[in-house]
Structures are given as structure tokens and as C-alpha cells.
Amino acid sequence: MKELAFYDGRIIDPKEPVIRVNDRAYQFGDGVYEAWMVDRGRQILRPEHLARFERSAAALGIVPTTTTEQIGGWADALVDQSGVANGMLYFQWSRGWQFPRNHVPTPDLKPVLSGFIKVRQRIEVPRPFSVVFHSDERQSFCHIKTLNLLGSVRAITAAAADGYDDALLVRPVDGQDVVTEGTRSNAFAVKNGTLFTAPLGPYLLPGITRAKILELATDLGIPVVEGYQSPDFFAQADEVFYTSCTALDPVVRIGSVTIGSGKPGPVFEKLYRAYGRFIASA
Ligand code: PMP
């Protein structure tokens, strides 16, 4: 097994230096990316992830130079040639390289596709997670999976410095502080058997896993509310958990507050098992 990377049509060693210094992704974070899970060699929810990749690029006016099918072909090649059975595939479109540097992109730029496959252990037993509230300082177009992750980096770095696994982002919406999502995940709360998560819109990424979990919850007869909730609501919830393409994380602590019993709760467990069944059948 060998982790591999991809740059502009070539599968390469991840350590090979290939990025141009005047690449707009490198200089401005001017690009979009996508990531999905590889579980026992199978790529989970790939069409949904590739569709979001296209939408993200279109939202920034980046016109891909390859089709989604071709990207799927490169993804298959990375899985096959690396021998990575459990891991993550990542691809990004940079708007392209531009010289001399100018904030305003010229119309002749050629987008550059790069990516990699990396190993990630299968999570057999969910690891209890602790998080802390942090103001959501990220941009106001969080629904686009852009490369501008500085706000997320700052929040999770501050959380990690205080010993937390992640931050739970809070920002004012219509004058009220509300919880949006995690720095790398969507956030859910459970209260009296109902599942709550923030609504789609400009302040959170439309998680592919979020959508799947909402679908599974509905199948299981769990009532769902997509609406903004306050930090207090999350702190007083029976359960809180995070979702992203590589993990469902049960949150057992927010700051100094223990959530529910301090262990993964029954609704999380139910959804976790249902998601496991979905992955097994994917
Ligand atoms: N929100 C943010 C900010 C993220 O970076 C991610 C990870 N891509 C998610 C949510 C979860 O999205 P998905 O389920 O599609 O991985």
C-alpha cells in the first residue's frame, strides 16, 4: 500500500513538488475542493460528492476542464494503484495559475485539478468527542466548499489548544446567536427524541453525510427539525453529534457542560448503526 497524489492529469508521489507559486489556490485560496470516504475499497456517496464539486466550482465561476466521469476515473486509479482500502479521496480545482499576481482573475486561466488518497483507519467503535463553542468567524458563503478555510483553522486550533477535539461554531443570524456547524462537520442535537440541525443556506456546508443522516432519520421515524438553535439549546440537548464523510462523532462535552449521560446517546447509536448498514451495502 502506498499513498498517492494527483496533479494536472498525472498520478504522482505525494512528496513530489508540483504546485506553481503563482497558483491562485496557493495565493488566494481561490478554488474549491471535495472529499469522500473509501471504505473497504468502495467510494461512499461519490456521485453526491462529485455533484457538489461541480456546484462549488460553478458558484465561483470556475469552469472545469475535465468531466465528472474523468475525475471518477482518476479516483478509481488512485484507489487501485495505492492499494488504500480504508481512507479518504480528496480533489481540488484551483482557478489556475496567473502571472503577474493580481486579485482579479484574467479570463484565460486554465483550472488545475489536483488531489490525493490517504489512509484513514476504519472507525469500528465511535470515539467520544468533546467540543467547545467558538464564534463563527468564517465567510458568509459557507455553503460553497471553497479552499478558504482560515476561519475553520483558527477555531479548531483554538479549541485544540484548550484540549477539545473540535469547535462548535456560533454566529449571529437575524440578531440571535445560533449554532451553525463544526469546523469540518455538520452538527446535530437531539431533544426529547427529535433531531435538530441548522438549515441549508449561506452559513453551513450542505454536508452529503448530513443529507444521508436526515434521510435515515426519516426512514427510522425520528422527527427532524431543520432550524437554527441557540448555543444554550445545544448545551442542554440530550445528545449532540457531528457528521462528515469520514466519521460520525458523538459529542459528549461542550465546554464544561456534559451532554446527556456523557456517553453516545440512543438516537446517535440508532443512526450510527443505520449508517453502518448503508455503508456496508454501498
Ligand atoms: N461542514 C464543513 C465546514 C466541512 O468542512 C465538512 C466536511 N467536508 C462538512 C460540514 C461535512 O460534509 P460531508 O458530510 O459532505 O463530508
Neighbours of 119 (CB within 10 A): 15
Interatomic CA distance for residues 270 and 209, integer angstroms? 15
Does residue 244 have its Cβ closer than 6 Å to ligand 1? Answer: yes
Rounded to the nearest whole angstrom, what is the distance from the C-alpha of residue 194 to the centroid of ligand 1?
A: 22
Taking residues 4-13, report their average pLDDT.
98
Q: pLDDT value at position 154?
A: 86
Interatomic CA distance for residues 187 and 168, integer angstroms? 8
- Spell 31-67 as b/e; 16+ CB within 10 A means b: bbbbbbbbbeeebbbbebbbebbbebbeebebebeee
Question: Is 17 a residue whose pLDDT tops 90?
Answer: yes
Rounded to the nearest whole angstrom, what is the distance from the C-alpha of residue 153 to the centroid of ligand 1?
A: 14
Distance of CA 192 to the CA centre of its chain: 28
**Ligand 1 atom closest to residue 52's alpha carbon, by position in its atom list:** 15
Q: pLDDT value at position 150?
A: 84
Question: Is 144 a residue whose pLDDT tops 90?
Answer: yes
Among 240, 237, 232, residue whose Cα is nearest residue 176? 232
Rounded to the nearest whole angstrom, what is the distance from the C-alpha of residue 51 to the centroid of ligand 1?
A: 14
Question: Is 120 a residue whose pLDDT tops 90?
Answer: yes
Taking residues 113-138, report their average pLDDT.
94
Pocket test for ligand 1, best of 36, 152, 205 (most atoms within 8 A of CB): 205
Pocket test for ligand 1, best of 33, 49, 56, 244 (most atoms within 8 A of CB): 244
Cβ partners under 8 Å of residue 111, min gap 6: 57, 62, 63, 64, 65, 93, 94, 95, 96
- Spell 192-207 as b/e; 16+ CB within 10 A means b: eeebbbbeeeebbbbb
Question: Is 88 a residue whose pLDDT tops 90?
Answer: yes
Q: List the catalytic residues.
A: 145
Angle, CA of 16, 20 and 24, to the nearest 5°: 130
Q: pLDDT value at position 153?
A: 86
Q: pLDDT value at position 49?
A: 98
pLDDT in tens, 182-197: 999 999 999 999 999 9
pLDDT band at 137 (very low <50, low <70, confident <90, very high): confident
Query: For all residues of the chain together, what is the average pLDDT?
Result: 96
Question: Is 163 a residue whose pLDDT tops 90?
Answer: yes
Here the cell at position 127 is 470515539
Question: Is 244 a residue whose pLDDT tops 90?
Answer: yes
CB 34 within 8 A of CB 91: yes
Rounded to the nearest whole angstrom, what is the distance from the C-alpha of residue 249 to the centroid of ligand 1?
A: 13
Rounded to the nearest whole angstrom, what is the distance from the C-alpha of residue 107 to the centroid of ligand 1?
A: 30
**Ligand 1 atom closest to residue 181's alpha carbon, by position in its atom list:** 1
Q: pLDDT value at position 65?
A: 96
pLDDT band at 4 (very low <50, low <70, confident <90, very high): very high
**Ligand 1 atom closest to residue 246's alpha carbon, by position in its atom list:** 16
Interatomic CA distance for residues 192 and 222, integer angstroms? 11
Does residue 205 have its Cβ closer than 6 Å to ligand 1? Answer: yes
pLDDT band at 214 (very low <50, low <70, confident <90, very high): very high
Does residue 249 have its Cβ closer than 6 Å to ligand 1? Answer: no
Question: Is 139 a residue whose pLDDT tops 90?
Answer: no
Does residue 209 have its Cβ closer than 6 Å to ligand 1? Answer: yes
Taking residues 203-229, report their average pLDDT.
98
Sequence-ordered strand ranges (E) for 120-223: 129-135, 166-173, 176-182, 186-191, 194-197
**Ligand 1 atom closest to residue 49's alpha carbon, by position in its atom list:** 15
